Each structure stands twice: as structure tokens, then as C-alpha cells.
């Protein structure tokens, strides 16, 4: 839980710059719609909540525990989940205070990771027959990750595949190429790793 929360915060914070530029480009093109704004606000809210949890763990762990206890009861988790999670978060944030440079390194790594993934997004569309402009690629990649995070379905299944081709088409990309590009990116970034992971897990269970 603690490690996941830290990684999530780093990924969300590193994506904020990409999203901000994307929203500016969409606004200038008059293509910024209400559902994109709502998704952006939800994403910002999640980022703030996760950061608040880390701050409470670092400075007021006693105040954090009752909130985690309420979540434990609501989700019907194990009886020691709230206490265990509070202790893990406190220990992790204590280490962060001792070695703050490690957090900056992790943040830089996540920014680089998003950059590499964005390049992959451009290349997949290139293979599909479309050379994306900087604005098209940035918006497409950023909104793909945005709807992946805020969608009610796991990993944005259905939402990303349904919305992003339409958004890319509104940016001047042929709809067929947009569908092919988005599906290609999803296969390489989600479905292929998931399938390989399931195969690997089954092999280990058999052994």
C-alpha cells in the first residue's frame, strides 16, 4: 500500500505538466469539452488526496489512522489493515525525510518514463501511417493516461478505446488510423504485458 501510494503520487505529479499543456492546446483549438475538464478535476483531486495522505503519515499519523480505520470498515478489510498501513506509511515517509533526494530521483524517473511512453505513442501512429504533430501526440498520450486513471473500469478498459479515437479524429487524424493507433498503443502498453504476466504467474504456480 505505502509503496503503491508513493509511486502513484510520483506518476500523477509527473503527468500534471503533460496534462496542463494538453488542456492549453485543446482550449486554444476550442476543443476542450466538459468531460475532459471533469476528468482533469478528478485526476487533480486524486493527486491532492494521495499527497495529503503522505503528508499526514509524515506529520500526523495519529490523525491518519482513524480515517484509514473508517475505510477498513467500509471496505470490510482485515482487522489489522488500518494499523498496518498507518505504520508502513509512517516508516516510508520517515525514510523520505531522511533521504529526500531519492524522491526527486523517482520523480525524474517517472517523467522520463512518461516521455518514453509518449515517444512510443508517436511511433505506433507512425507505423499506422500517420505522422502526428507535437500537439496531437501530446494530447493523445496525456488523455489516454488521464482516462485510464479516472475511468470506473479497470485500466480504463472501454473508456480509452471509445473516447480517444474520437478525440484524435477531432484533432485531424483519420478515424480509422486513430482507432488503429489507440488499439495498438493499448495492446503494447496494457494487454500484452497483462497476458505475459498471467502466463508467467501460471508457469510459476505449475512449478
Domain limits, the chain:
2-206
Percent of the chain residues topping a pLDDT of 70? 96
Of the two residues 190 and 13, the one the predictor is more confident about is: 13
Q: Which of 22-26, 91-95, 104-108, 178-182 has the lowest mean pLDDT?
A: 91-95
Of the two residues 47 and 83, the one the predictor is more confident about is: 47
pTM: 0.87
* Concatenated DSSP letters of 140-195: HHHHHHHHHHH-SSGGGTTHHHHHHHHHHHHTT--HHHHHHHHHHHHIIIIIHHHH
Q: Which residue has the cell 489507440?
A: 182
Overall average pLDDT of the 172-197 stretch: 87
pLDDT at 41: 96
pLDDT at 167: 93
- CA angle 48/54/55 to nearest 5° reads 85
Overall average pLDDT of the 90-103 stretch: 82
Q: How far apart are CA 69 and CA 115, in angstroms?
A: 38
112 pLDDT higher than 80:
yes
Q: Is 38 exposed, middle or buried (0-12, 13-18, 19+ CB in 10 A)?
A: exposed
* Confidence tier at 135 by pLDDT (50, 70, 90): very high
Amino acid at each position: 500500500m505505502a509503496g503503491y501510494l508513493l509511486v502513484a503520487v510520483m506518476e500523477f505529479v509527473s503527468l500534471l505538466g503533460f496534462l496542463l499543456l494538453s488542456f492549453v492546446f485543446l482550449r486554444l483549438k476550442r476543443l476542450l469539452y466538459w468531460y475532459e475538464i471533469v476528468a482533469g478535476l478528478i485526476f487533480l483531486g486524486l493527486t491532492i488526496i494521495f499527497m495529503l495522505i503522505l503528508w499526514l503519515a509524515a506529520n500526523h499519523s495519529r490523525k491518519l489512522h482513524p480515517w484509514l480505520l473508517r475505510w477498513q470498515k467500509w471496505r470490510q478489510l482485515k482487522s489489522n489493515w488500518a494499523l498496518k498501513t498507518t505504520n508502513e506509511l509512517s516508516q516510508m515517509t520517515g525514510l523520505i525525510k531522511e533521504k529526500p533526494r531519492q524522491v526527486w530521483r523517482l520523480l525524474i524517473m517517472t517523467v522520463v518514463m512518461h516521455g518514453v511512453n509518449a515517444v512510443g505513442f508517436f511511433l505506433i501512429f507512425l507505423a499506422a501511417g500517420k505522422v502526428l504533430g507535437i500537439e496531437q501526440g501530446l494530447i493523445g498520450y496525456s488523455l489516454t493516461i488521464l482516462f485510464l486513471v479516472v475511468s470506473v473500469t479497470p485500466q480504463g478498459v472501454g473508456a480509452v478505446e471509445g473516447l480517444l479515437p474520437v478525440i484524435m479524429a477531432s484533432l485531424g487524424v483519420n478515424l480509422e488510423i486513430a482507432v488503429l493507433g489507440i488499439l495498438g498503443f493499448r495492446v503494447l502498453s496494457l494487454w500484452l504485458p497483462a497476458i505475459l504476466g498471467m502466463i508467467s504467474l501460471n508457469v510459476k504456480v505449475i512449478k
